Amino acid sequence: MADILNLRSGRAPVLKQSQQTTQASDTHDSQTEARGESENPDKILRFRPSERILHWSIAVPFMLCYATGIVLMTCFPLRSPGVSRGLLSWTHKGGGALMILLPALTAIMNWRDRKIHFYNIGQAWSWAAQDLKWLILMGAAAVSRKITLPDQGKFNAAEKLNFMMVMCTYPFFILTGVLMWLPDSIVLFWMVHVGLALLATPLMLGHIYMALINPSTRVGLSGMISGYVDRRWSEHHYGRWYREQTGGDATRTGDAVKAEKRGLRSLK
């Protein structure tokens, strides 16, 4: 937070009263964003814009490829002629091209946020006993409120598995997809490509179910749209991450933030 408040010049310029008020407001907004807070005290920042863009730059092309791939595999024999199959095939290839271009473009345009993405990767590949316990109790907790799941960091154990699956299968999807474009490509590439899709299916469907259908977790979808989620919801589902974001103060609820903002306004 200190780097937000520091001035680049050694001496602060003398401001008029109106300029001081504007600067105080801007500084407060910067502090709010740095703490992961929104103007709505009941919300907390979960994902920054670069994280959300990267997510959708992978998810949308993948779903396009997955949907067209299912139709191609179930409705058309391999290499069969026909306009419909040709159109679906090129749509599938276009989705594959987007899977290469969009994430790369996102990484280039948001290179300043690279530390955040490396942090996310580290979180996904860091496992502890609590993560295994979370996986074991996940099913029981879904049907009984008496079951308490262990505190989780930025990602719960299921999200970590999905993250790892994407990182492990993504390069091979691209590689086998490109090789399948080549004339006289061997059937082995097609088999590996389809096998990867089958491997990804249960985790992908579980991810979609938790994001869109399950009442207790679909609240978090807003984190991938606006970036913000309900403060109490994040404290319940990602307790360890929430405490990190609030400086270890687990009692920093929406009411506490409202009181703090009233205090800041009274000083202006």
Domain map (residue ranges) of the chain: 47-124, 129-257
CA pair distance 37, 32, nearest whole angstrom:
5
pLDDT at 202 over 70: yes
Percent of the chain with pLDDT over 90: 58
Query: Is the pLDDT higher at 52 or at 76?
Result: 52
Cβ-contact 112, 199 below 8 angstroms: no
Exposed, middle or buried: residue 99 (CB in 10 Å: 0-12, 13-18, 19+)?
A: buried
pLDDT given at position 13: 36
Cβ atoms 200, 163 nearer than 8 A? no
Mean pLDDT, residues 163-184 taken together = 90
Percentage above 70 pLDDT, the chain:
75
Residue 253 to residue 41: CA distance in whole angstroms: 8
Q: What was the pLDDT predicted at 23?
A: 43
Q: Would the pLDDT of 259 be above 60?
A: no
DSSP class per residue in the chain? -HHHH--SSSSPPP--HHHHHHHHHHHHHHHHHHTTB-SSTTEEE-S-HHHHHHHHHHHHHHHHHHHHHHHHHHHS-TT---HHHHHHHHHHHHHHHHHHHHHHHHHHHTGGGHHHHHHHHHHHT---HHHHHHHHHHHHHHH-TT--PPP--SS-HHHHHHHHHHHHHHHHHHHHHHHHHSTT--HHHHHHHHHHHHHHHHHHHHHHHHHHT-TTTGGGGGGGTTSEEEHHHHHHHSHHHHHHHTTT-TT--HHHHHHHHHHHHHH-
CATH class of 129-257: mainly alpha
Query: In the prediction, which pLDDT does 158 show?
Result: 93
Q: Which residue has the higher pLDDT, 256 or 68?
A: 68
* Among 12-26, 107-121, 174-188, the least confident range: 12-26
| Structure tokens that stand for 118 in this block | 């490396």
Mean pLDDT of 190-209: 92
Average pLDDT on 40-52 reads 94
Whether 254 and 64 have beta carbons less than 8 Å apart is answered as: no
Mean pLDDT of the 228-254 span: 82
Give the per-residue pLDDT at 249. Answer: 55
pLDDT at 183: 76
- What's the mean pLDDT when you consider all of the chain? 81
Would the pLDDT of 250 be above 60?
Answer: no
pLDDT at 36 (0 to 100): 53
pLDDT (average), residues 144-154: 89
208: pLDDT strictly greater than 90: yes
State mean pLDDT over 150-163.
Answer: 94
